[in-house]
Structures are given as C-alpha cells and as structure tokens.
Chain A
Amino acid sequence: MAILPSTRPSETSVAAAIPSTYGVETGVAGTDNASDGQGTLHSTLPHQAQPGAGPDPVFEVRNLTVRYGSHVAVRDVSTEIARNEVTAVIGPSGCGKSTFLRCFNRMNDLVEGCRVEGTIAYHGVNVYDPAVPPVEVRRRIGMVFQKPTPFPRSIHHNVAYGLRLAGVRQGIDDLVETALRRAALWDEVKDRLNASALSLSGGQQQRLCIARAIAVEPEVLLMDEPCSALDPIATARIESLLEELKGRFSIVIVTHNMQQAARVSGRTMFFTTETDEHADRHVGVLVEHDTTERIFSNPRDERTENYVTGRFG
C-alpha cells in the first residue's frame, strides 16, 4: 500500500496529520496514453524539444486534452512543472489557461460536461487514476481563485477550516498564526482574528485565501489570476509574498500581466489558440515552456515573441 507520496518533510507535521485512508497501487502512470494519435493537427510539437522542468518535477503532464462537451479547450499538452519554483502561465484570453490549471487539482470535475484525457502524474501517481479520490488530490494541491473567496466567518475560522478538514485537532491556533505570517497578513489581523473575514479589504482577503490554502502545507499552490481584482499596492504585496513562498511550495500562477510573469516566475508557459480545421472553434495549445528569461528575451516560437512583445493579433 502506497499513499500519494508526500516527499517534502513538513516542519509542522501537518502532512502527517492528513489521514491517509486509501491505497493506490497503480504503476507509474504517464505513458499509457502517450501513443494516442491526438496530435494529428500539429505540424510541430515545439515543447517536446524543450528542456524539461529540471530533474525532479512535481507534475508530469502527458497528452492532456480537455473538452467541454464537444469543444476542445486544451489539446494535447505534454510538459512538466518544476518543483519549488514559480511557473507562470500566460496567453491570450480563452486559450485555456484556467482550464489547464484546474486539471491539476481536479476542479474540472465540478464542471458539467468537462472531460479530461491524458495523464497528470504527481510524483509518479496519476491524479486522474480511478483509485485516487479527488479529495486527496485537493488536500495536497492548494488553489487560490481569481476573486477572493473568504467564507463569511471569522478570520481565524477561515484558516482553521482547511486544517480541520485535514484532520488536525491540536495546535490549530499556532498553525493559523504560522499560515497568516507566511501570507504576510498576521500583523494586520492579529488583534481581530475573530472579526468577520468580510471586513478585510480585497487585498487582505486574497492574502487570507492564500493563508488558508498554505495552512495545510500543500506541495503545490495553483493560482488563477490572483491579483486581477487588486490594486497595484496589494498586487505588489502578493508578488513579494510569492517570492517568499516559492522555496516551500511549487507555484503555478496564471496571469495576464506580462510584467508580473517576468517578475515572479522562474519558468513560463505560453498558451495560445489555434483554429481547429474541423470545427469553427478555437483550441488552446501549449506553444512554449521555458525559463522566463528565455521566453521574454529569446523565445523559440514566433507566436510567443509576438505575444510577449505585444504584437499579438
């Protein structure tokens, strides 16, 4: 019996407190569907020629295709997500960035009509393996949404909620404080932990959501445009927060802000839309995944260059 491996030893031993109630005995997933001929519309698969995400990626994505009904939103993505780094996902609106991000913690399961093909291996175990309960995936992979989503309860309750879900019974107050400190929110709220989370400003609410997500020590933090509802000062705070968090967490962040991607990320993925020959719909594809420096200074693909230099049509 092997549980989803939690390879990073956790100082506060929250991970140890997470009940491991099931076993997974699948072999290493990832190559099973690799031979599906879904890439027929591709002339090239540029990302396959790229360097991988380092020696020890958290995620290995193989032939990931996501459909909403009959509409293919993301087609045949194969790539890796680097450990303990910030990976930015950029691309024009509607190219499937959010869709791609939601695959990692199986939030797409909640979307009616959404079908995911291919594999996403998390430390060697396919997130979509039938033997893996989605709940277990989401406890290890945290998510922060575009709009702050605090529960209309106290600040303390918001952070403690995830901990309680994870089965933590003791030392909750300390863990709440640790999480709020890491989220750079502690000093602002330490005197009013029992106040409603809705009494916070938008930027504070978003940091509260980050605190809530990191309190359970997930290995990965997914963020979908976490700053798009915030003013520049709140955005700057979150960016510096990301800087501090990236040593502890692997972060995937979707952003429309190119400067932000350049500032916070070590690696960048560029998605774009291609027009499907058969249907008159746009299909999202991964064009290029490389170090942020390379993407912004000397990308391999012309489309990437056009996008990052603002010449995207």
Chain B
Amino acid sequence: MSAVSGPPAASGVAGFPFDTRARTDLRLRTVATARRVRDRFATVALCAALVVAAVPLVAVVVVLVAKGARWLGWDFFTSDIPRVTGRVAGACEGVDAALREKYGLTCGTPRPAMGPAILGTLLSTGLAALIAIPVGVAAAVYLNEIGRSSRTARAVRFLSDVMTGIPSIVMGLFVYTVWVVRFGTAGPSAFAAALALACLMLPIVVRGTEEVLRLVPDELRHANVALGGRGVHGVLRVVLPCALPGITTAALLAVARAAGETAPVLFTIGMTYSFNAAPWGPNTTLAQQIFEGAKSGDPLANRLAWSAALTLVVVVFSLSAAARFIANRYSTRLGG
C-alpha cells in the first residue's frame, strides 16, 4: 500500500466525521489550524500569568531576606528592643551618661533586636488561641452535631459569617472600647490584644471545624449509636477523634492569621521595649514593631522593621507548614 508509507498530503484539514479517508487514517490532521493556534496561545498566556503571579511572591521573599537577614543573630532574639527615634539618635553624642541612663538612650549604632516583640507575639497569639479554639470548636460541634438546621444554629452560622467579614481594625476598636478604656492605664496588655485576636480567629475556627465535622461520615455516628453510645459520647469519642487532624489544621491556620495581624493589636497592646512575659501590662508584637519602625524616619528603626518582618514571616510560614503537614497526614490516614 503506497498510502501507508508516505506522509499524508498536507492539504489542510480533513472534516473528520464525514471524511471516509480521515476516519481510518491516523496521519491525517483533523484538528483545525485555528484551534491549534488558539490552544498554543492559551498555554502561553497561562504560563505568563503564572510568572506574573510569582513575581511579587519571589520579590517579597528576596527583599525580606536581603534587608532583614543581616541583623539576625542570637542577640536579635534575646535582647530588648533599642529605643530610637530620629531626634534622639542624632542628639545622642553630646549627652552625658546619667541622662542616657535616665532616658534609656543607646549611642553609636545599636544592633537591632526584637526579643520582646517575639515574646509578645507568641503570648498574645497563644492566649487568643486558648480563648478562640475551645469556644470555636464547641460552637462547631453544636452547629454540626446538635443544632444542625435549627433556628439557633442558622443564626450562629450567619453571625460567624458576618464576623468573618468584619475588618480586623474594628475588632481592635471594639476591644479598645469595652476593655482597654475601662481599665485605664492597666488596660493595654497582651490579654487585651488576645481578646481582639480571638474575635478575629473565632469565625475561622468555627467554620473550619464545621467543614471538617461535616466530612465525618454519618455511618460512623450510626455505628456508635448502634453500639449503645449516646450522642454526646459519640461526638467526643468518635467524631472529634476522626476530625482532630482537620480541626488542628483549621486552628493553626487561624493562629497563623492572627499572628500576623496589626490592626487589632494597635490600640490594645500598648507599647514596650523590654520583655514582658505576663498577660497584663503593656506589651508589643512583631507586627506592631513593623508598623512603628516603618513609619519612623530613623534608619535603625527601619532596619528593625525589616528584621521583624522576616521573623514574622518565618513564624507564620512555620504555622502554615505545620497545618499543611497535618492535613496531608490526615488525608493519607483516612485513605488507607
């Protein structure tokens, strides 16, 4: 057969369904040229979009590391935050020792350090997690296991959706009004900040946990009941253990989100430059230090801000990575 040996006649496109020759000859092109071009174009466009999307991501990381990494070191995590403003740093040289001591001035170029802010971040976020996670998980259990489609459940679901949409600065203002203002100078504290952050985390935990609980198959609940388990018992012994990895993921994501928040902290935590491990008394967080450092004109303050930013990104990234890791293990475990 001569038709088999030679390449197909490149005479345009065969109309596949109706062309008797094209039906049996694989070498005949049946896809229209225009379509092939469009296909190629779409592929290129998608790749370009990917590159564009990756640019800011990579740029952020590169700039963060370039500007922030230089100052990282043991001291950075363990020392107090140097107290600097443009004016004081410039005026430092002529001031005598007693005055320096009195105003806590550091002369020369003090190395940036962020210890208190790291501690404050962990403290306020941790307290917020202690408040929001138990309450949120309990609410989600109510929504999915008890309330289901009751009036109360629907109201709670609606409210938590609304809460998700509330800007975080409003949460800060709210706690500022109902807590900080009331207690005057004793008001601003890691605990106050934790209250604001907990408001922020709560809806994330509730809806995240509810989603995970919904994934637990009803068959397991029925199996529990058929064995003579009560509903509540089943929730604690069967449903929650099944959902635990998923709940952990939801909680960690909420924590990661809260750790990076600035607005709720601004009014509620006050400001300090030295370590404060107590939930009361003014404190500070990395996000707040970035805010303060970036708006200051002082070069040292700017450097501080960059290093704080890098530290914060590492903290948040670790939390997200942990959430990812647990989520993956969860899915493989359920799979077999």
Contact = CB atoms under 8 A, between A and B. Distances in A.
Contacts of A209: 223
Contact of B241 (A105, A138, A143, A153): A153
A152 B331 CA distance: 12
Interface string A109-151: 0100000000000000000000000011011001101010101
A216 B226 CA distance: 12
Contacts, number: 62
Contacts of B219: 145, 147, 149
Interface string B21-57: 0000000000000000000000000000000000000
Which 6 residue pairs across A and B have the least CB separation, nearest first? Answer: A139-B228, A143-B226, A149-B223, A162-B227, A149-B219, A138-B228
Interface string A198-214: 11000000000100110
Contact of B223 (A105, A145, A166, A199): A145
B222 A145 contact: yes
A206 to B, nearest CB: 12
Nearest to B148: A112
Contact of A161 (B217, B225, B227, B336): B227
Contact of A165 (B220, B227, B242, B333): B227
A152 B334 contact: yes
A136 B220 CA distance: 19
Given A151-B238, A199-B336, A135 B223 contact: no
Interface residues of A, number: 26
Contacts of B230: 135
Interface of B: 217, 219-220, 222-230, 233, 237-238, 241-242, 333-334, 336
Contact of A213 (B217, B222, B227, B242): B227
13 contacts: A110-B225, A139-B227, A149-B217, A151-B220, A151-B223, A151-B224, A151-B241, A152-B241, A152-B242, A152-B334, A153-B241, A199-B336, A216-B227
A107 B227 contact: no
A198 B227 CA distance: 19
A196 interface: yes
A198 B217 CA distance: 14
